[in-house]
Amino acid sequence: MTTLTLPHPRCIARGGHLRHHRMRAITFIEVLVVMIILSLIAGIIGTQLLSVPAKAKVDVTKIQISSIEGALDRYFLENSTFPTSEQGLEALIRLPEVGVIPKNWQGPYLKANSAPTDGWKNPFIYRSDGRDYTIISLGADGVEGGTELDADISSKNL
């Protein structure tokens, strides 16, 4: 009596021959290549996401400067002069105590308890002779000069 042997389930009959199909294992190099590709994608996306808040700080700073300019215009309309550098932006919040004290001060001209800061929480530089003014933020690095996010932002070139 002969016994009939059935092929293993992973074996397939083709053209009268049995062929064994092996499950292909993932090699270490393939895993490493996939990890590298995923890391590159995450790096690209991550830097894009991190640059959004940084650019938003530039926009916030420009909006702050525009807001301060509006307050300075109201101050000028009532007092016929801008606060001097010595009086600073604090003159928009409290009646100045140094220099020429304005007689028609109707402030506060800004809704704040202290002078406003830029998007990086640094104080603005305010320069004025009473007739004209410049408001400057030193950018992300807080140092004069710079490029891109570190560039100074001035009321003269908004």
DSSP letter string, 48-72: HHHHHHHHHHHHHHHHHHHHHHHHH
How would you write the pLDDT of the chain (158 residues) with one tens digit per residue? 566 665 555 555 555 555 555 556 668 787 778 888 887 777 777 666 655 677 889 999 999 999 999 999 999 999 999 999 999 999 999 999 999 999 999 989 998 888 889 999 999 999 999 999 999 999 988 888 888 878 999 999 88
Burial label, 89 (beta-carbon count in 10 A; 0-12, 13-18, 19+): buried
Instruction: Give the start-to-end residue ranges of the domains of the chain.
Output: 57-157
Instruction: Round to whole Å and give the CA distance between 59 and 61.
Output: 5
pTM over 0.75: no
Residue with tokens 């140092």: 143
Contacts of residue 15, Cβ cutoff 8 Å, sequence gap at least 6? none
As a CATH number, domain 57-157 is: 3.30.700.10
